[in-house]
Amino acid sequence: MSEVKAPQKAARLVDVAEAAGVSRGTASNVFSHPELVREEVRERVQAAARKLGYRGPDPKGRLLRAGKVGSIGIATARPVSYFFEDPFARVLMSGISSACDENGEGISLVAASSDAKLAENIRGALVDGFILFCVRGGGSPEPSKLIELTRERQLPFVALELGFSDDTVSSIGIDNFEGARLAARHLAELGHRRFAVLSLQIMEEGIGPASAERIENAVYADTRKRIRGYFAALSEFGIDTTKIPVYETRADEASTRANLERIFASDEPPTAILAMSDRVALAALAWFKEHDIRVPQDVSVIGFDGIPGSEASDPPLTTIAQPIAEIGRRAVQAILDYDGTLRRQTIDVELVVRGSTAEPRS
């Protein structure tokens, strides 16, 4: 019967120092600050390390001793592809990365579309703090789960409230109500009185016409605030908002097109479309072109977000522009300046008038 050997214990720095006949501090300098050690001693320590199979100091241990990792975690309860595929997220990441470069910080992407994997990734992330993309929908875990897991780490974090609201955490975002009010007022001042809203998600399931009850019980905070902002502005012009149809989309081309088919089957279609995102607005412009509906002569369209490409559409898209990159830069600074205080920042938006809106035809 063959003898089973116990697994060999991994070599430690102290073992290398003993084999090379130097102090532990000298051995450590060979790997961390080689310029401080004479060449003859460096070669002796390195030879001992190779013989013992020592691969160098554990970076985790060094970072823990330093008390700072030098990296910020960017976390979302969605697949990592979200950071690269969503145009809003890409601009946001550009602002985050530029701020990290300026401050000598690294970035660690922490993403998952299941509770179990998200918990594993959050708990194992080697970072100094977290910027949370609190995005609802798409079958991903609730943003509250992301916040709960991050709180367990007891590290600084700030939430970017993209469709989710929690007054108990530090956050950076925009005034969705005011942005929507600016959009609706712009169209009303041009003389429009017949409107339709292409909204973002209201509930987890369903697209198409949304009832007043469904809107009132919306689980997506940004959607609810934007609808209220639209209606508040239009009410100032004496428009009966109960007669303005709201059509729920998934912020994609398929659901936008399906809703436009319904809207423009009417005998009296709207002269103005309030699109709750630029992606929806751009999909609408493509549909109008295919159906020989002229923008802005036959219908005006206004978007929301100010994503890259909105200025290059045909016609160029009028929109409510968010300072997307600035939100990212402020999020980084919030982590670097963290002192334990709860801070909630609201950044102004801007009405950018381009070629997709005009006075309605007589």
Do 148 and 158 fall into the same domain? yes
Structure tokens at 108: 């660690």
Alpha carbons 162 and 221: distance in angstroms, whole number: 9
Q: Taking phi first (over 0 means left), then psi (-120 to 50 degrees means alpha), and beta for anything else, what does residue 199 get?
A: beta
CATH code, domain carrying 26:
1.10.260
User: Which pLDDT tens digit goes with each residue over 301-342?
Assistant: 999 999 998 999 999 999 999 999 999 999 999 999 998 888
Do 224 and 239 fall into the same domain? yes
Do 42 and 119 fall into the same domain? no
Alpha carbons 64 and 207: distance in angstroms, whole number: 49
Do 156 and 190 fall into the same domain? no
CATH code, domain carrying 129:
3.40.50.2300
200 part of a folded domain: yes
Give pLDDT, residue 64: 54
More confident residue, 23 or 33: 23
Give pLDDT, residue 199: 97
Instruction: State the pLDDT confidence band at 160, using cuts at 50, 70 and 90.
Output: confident
> What are the C-alpha distances in Å from 296 to residues 184, 189, 249, 289?
15, 15, 22, 11
Instruction: State the pLDDT confidence band at 182, using cuts at 50, 70 and 90.
Output: very high
359 part of a folded domain: no
Do 304 and 223 fall into the same domain? yes
Do 97 and 185 fall into the same domain? no
Do 250 and 274 fall into the same domain? yes
User: Which pLDDT tens digit goes with each residue over 42-75?
Assistant: 999 999 999 888 877 765 555 555 567 889 999 9
* End position of a domain, from candidates 21, 36, 57: 57
Do 166 and 302 fall into the same domain? no
Say which range, 89-93, 204-208, 230-234, 295-299, has the weakest mean pLDDT. 204-208
Predicted confidence (pLDDT) at residue 152 exceeds the cutoff of 50:
yes
6 part of a folded domain: no
pTM (global) more than 0.85: no
Average pLDDT, the chain: 88
* End position of a domain, from candidates 126, 147, 173: 173
362 part of a folded domain: no
Residue 121 structural domain: 67-173
- Contacts of residue 96, Cβ cutoff 8 Å, sequence gap at least 6: 72, 74, 107, 131, 328, 329, 331, 332
Say which range, 55-64, 159-168, 189-198, 224-233, has the weakest mean pLDDT. 55-64
Say which range, 140-154, 180-194, 258-272, has the weakest mean pLDDT. 140-154
343 part of a folded domain: no
Instruction: State the pLDDT confidence band at 4, using cuts at 50, 70 and 90.
Output: very low
Do 90 and 191 fall into the same domain? no
Q: Provide the domain count of the chain.
A: 3
pLDDT mean over 66-87: 84
Do 195 and 148 fall into the same domain? no
- State how far Cα 4 lies from the chain centre: 53
- Contacts of residue 6, Cβ cutoff 8 Å, sequence gap at least 6: none
Do 197 and 235 fall into the same domain? yes
329 part of a folded domain: no
274 part of a folded domain: yes
Do 232 and 289 fall into the same domain? yes
Give pLDDT, residue 247: 97
